[in-house]
Chains A and B, each alone.
Chain A
């Protein structure tokens, strides 16, 4: 199949705090406002009037927000963000697994965004570096977890093969009775033996 898509047009999130949101993205991080829509509510279900506004996150990709006039936040647990609230028993690693990661090309850029955040009300909460990536994390005024990340080396072709073998093994084991890492690694070894040698020949 031809792969014709070209990145993220926009990813959209609701906000109850447009002032904080603009301060965070435009004034602290320096992401330009590139588009906005002022829309009167319409339709049969009492849709409120709203502002839909967009920040440029590079590469012509955009991060967008909806602000609804007169709308109050919905109930939920004490954890999470304004869109998804979780009760106390939900583990934090699960909540943090949904986040937005924005790419930068260099250490200089990463450290500059770190400086901008650390000078603001939303300082970097965590900086992680291991052999392949370096990332900084914070939460925006809406509670959304934001990561800024750089790659420490390019992705190699064999990692694309490995990813495909992992996913094929995963689909096999989740269709079985007892999905586990052990089952996946056993199935993946079979796929390596079947396919890896031929892949390397075809990539020379």
Chain B
């Protein structure tokens, strides 16, 4: 299971919104964090989020049994370990 945590602050919300467009992705919460999970890799398009770089490159709060295999100006890709 690919699992990604993102803190609920206003500028991170578009990252969660873009991730959740994928029908394989589920989003729930643990406290003030979004937990984004999927049986498949999770891919988030940076331009679709509208995030500028400072927020984009600090938007991940935690990874559950997953690793980031791409995190650049185009996209973030997270895969299960």
Whether B63 lies near A131 (C-beta < 8 A) is no
Q: Mark each residue of chain B from 38 to 81: 1 if its CB lies under 8 Å from any CB of chain A, else 0.
A: 00000000000001111100001111110110000000000000
B contact residues around A89 at 8 Å (CB): none
Q: Is A1 an interface residue (CB 8 A)?
A: no
* Choice from B9, B63, B64 contacting A158 with Cβ under 8 Å: B9
Q: Is A188 an interface residue (CB 8 A)?
A: yes
How far does the alpha carbon of A190 sit from the alpha carbon of B30 in the complex, in Å? 12
Q: Is A72 an interface residue (CB 8 A)?
A: no
Q: How many A-B residue pairs have CB under 8 A?
A: 71
* Choice from B32, B51, B52, B68 contacting A161 with Cβ under 8 Å: B32
Q: Is B17 an interface residue (CB 8 A)?
A: no
B contact residues around A159 at 8 Å (CB): 7, 9
Task: Name the interface size band of chain A.
Answer: 20 to 34
- Of the 9-residue stretches A3-11, A59-67, A194-202, which lies at the interface with chain B? A194-202
How far does the alpha carbon of A131 sit from the alpha carbon of B11 in the complex, in Å? 7
How far does the alpha carbon of A128 sit from the alpha carbon of B3 in the complex, in Å? 32
Q: Mark each residue of chain A from 165 to 204: 1 if its CB lies under 8 Å from any CB of chain B, else 0.
A: 1000000000000000010011011111101111110000
Q: Is B23 an interface residue (CB 8 A)?
A: no
Whether A196 lies near B30 (C-beta < 8 A) is yes
Whether B63 lies near A192 (C-beta < 8 A) is no
**A81-130 with Cβ < 8 A to chain B:** 130
Whether A131 lies near B54 (C-beta < 8 A) is yes
Whether A192 lies near B5 (C-beta < 8 A) is yes
Minimum CB–CB distance from A106 to chain B (whole Å) comes to: 19
Q: Which of A130, A182, A198 has the most CB of B within 10 A?
A: A130
Minimum CB–CB distance from A9 to chain B (whole Å) comes to: 31
B-binding residues in A (CB < 8 A): 130-132, 153, 156, 158-159, 161-162, 165, 182, 185-186, 188-193, 195-200
